[in-house]
């Protein structure tokens, strides 16, 4: 019986370079997409630090705002936004492959599924921005 094993069976194997993903743009794009998770984690850490500052009172909060204004932190956050947007685009464009909705026996076109994801994204962003900015 065939059994799933985590490793390929022993025997002849072609050595793959550790830098296999540098050879082609598609491979590099894949690795960049996968690396977006690091910036997602950085965002969570930053948010937790912000909550920690919020607990610490208004002067601790002001200190944290000063930290966010440091050029190094700004640059890191610009890079983070780039990677998070890469995550958004790749995630929503893959959604039609993961979600198969059938309506009247026909599969809903990819564009409708990806499109509804983008609409949800805009709506969520507007709601968050409105709540934070309404003053």
The site for other proteins (CB under 8 A) is made up of: 3, 6-7, 16, 18, 21, 31, 34-38, 40-41, 43-48, 50-52, 54-55, 58, 61-62, 65, 68-69, 73-74, 77-78, 80-81, 84-85, 87-88, 91-92, 98, 117, 120-121, 124-125, 128-129, 131-133, 135
Pick the closer one to other proteins by CB: 31 or 112.
31
Kindly state the smallest distance separating residue 92's Cβ from other proteins, in Å: 7
Q: What does the DSSP assignment read for the chain?
A: -----SSPPSS--PPPPTTGGGS-HHHHHHHHHHHHHHHHHHHHHHHHHHHHHHHH-HHHHHHHHHHHTSHHHHHHHHHHHHHHHHHHHHHHHHHHHH---EETTEEPPHHHHHHHHHHHHHHHHHHHHHHHH--
């Amino acid at each position: 019986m065939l059994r799933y094993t985590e490793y390929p069976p022993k025997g002849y194997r072609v050595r793959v370079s550790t830098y296999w993903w540098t050879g082609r743009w598609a491979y590099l794009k894949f690795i960049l997409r996968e690396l977006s998770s690091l910036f997602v984690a950085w965002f969570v850490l930053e948010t937790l630090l912000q909550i920690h500052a919020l607990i610490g009172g208004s002067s601790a909060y002001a200190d944290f705002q000063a930290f966010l204004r440091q050029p190094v932190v700004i640059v890191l956050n610009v890079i983070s936004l780039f990677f998070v947007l890469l995550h958004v685009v790749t995630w929503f464009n893959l959604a039609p492959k993961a979600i198969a909705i059938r309506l009247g026996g026909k599969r809903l076109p990819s564009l409708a599924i990806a499109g509804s994801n983008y609409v949800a994204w805009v709506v969520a962003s507007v709601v968050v921005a409105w709540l934070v900015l309404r003053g």
